[in-house]
Structure 1
Amino acid sequence: MDKKPTPRGVRNNNPGNIDRTAVVWQGEDRSPEAVKREPRFCVFMTPQAGFRALAKTLLTYQGRHGLRTVKEIINRWAPPSENNTSAYVAQVAREVGVGGSEIIGLNRQVTLQRLVTAIARHENGGLFWDEAVIEAGVRQALA
């Protein structure tokens, strides 16, 4: 039986598969080795730092860009040009426990944690992290 390769988001401690930009995240590894190994996506030193960055990005989507529904958030996160966004929205909304077009507030730990967990599961084809790691990253993002 062939063993499946570890998903990129797990290898990089980047559960949301956040693209590297000019912004250096708290806990991001920008060493030459990390950049050479992973030229496109951020590499974080810990999964908690990756969850914090994912949660911070979603908080920015809501606060700065006014995205208030799972559909709006996922359409920006995973644009239709690169993803089956409608399936992504349906899966994430179901896991969060809301309709895709229902307004949600990400300033609540439970809602934000459900959303980042659902995105991480979708991005990586499964959930590879303990709830405590996810919770800690989200708590840091809300602090």
Structure 2
Amino acid sequence: MTTTTPRGIRNNNPGNIDRTAERWQGMAADQSGDPRFVVFSEPKWGLRALAKVLLSYQRKHGLRTPAAIIGRWAPPSENNTGAYARQVAAALGVGVDDQIDLQNPDTLARIVPAIVAHENGQQPYSADLIAQAVRLALE
């Protein structure tokens, strides 16, 4: 992959999950390639992590609308959160303030690629790979 490939795709972390003390399943042994974001060994692990974070927003924080979920995922200090939430809601076929259930695998499998597309300017992953990552996240 070239340096013109978006950072999230290069890192197999298409959600651009920040590095913390958390040890993610599928994290690459070598994290020196990026000072800010987690590097995963394969895209499925980065997609799984994205889905796991979204599930925690709903389970632990009670966030149930695209506006609330994206407001936490992509805070206004770094993003045009309103535009981001509208894009994700449109991909889901709902309004920004409509309730969604991320425990539903179909809903989770639709929000993940919408976030990937917004974070990276592209969504290169197959529906099968996203479905596999969603299954892993819901286990």
| TM-score normalised per structure 2 | 0.96
Aligned-partner SS, 1:120: helix
Partner residue, 2:16: 17
Structure 1 gaps, min length 5: none
Please tell me the root mean square deviation across aligned C-alpha atoms, in Å. Answer: 1.2
Higher relative contact order (CA 8 A, sep 6+): 1
Map Cα deviations across residues 95-128 of structure 1 (whole Å, 9 max, x no partner).
0111000000011110011011100010000111
Q: Which residue of the partner structure matches residue 38 of structure 1?
A: 34
Report sequence identity in percent.
56
How many residues are treated as equivalent by the alignment? 138
Indicate whether 1:93 and 2:97 are aligned.
no
- Which contiguous aligned blocks of 4+ residues in structure 1 show a shift greater than 6 angstroms? none
* Pairing 1:120–2:116 present: yes
Q: Tell me the distance in 2 between the aligned counterparts of 1:123 and 1:80.
A: 14
Please show how residues 105-116 of structure 1 align to structure 2 within 5 Å. 105-116=101-112
Q: Which residue of 2 aligns with 1:80?
A: 76
Q: Structure 2: state its 5+ residue gaps.
A: none
Shift of 1:69: 0.3
Residue 58 of structure 2: aligned partner: 62
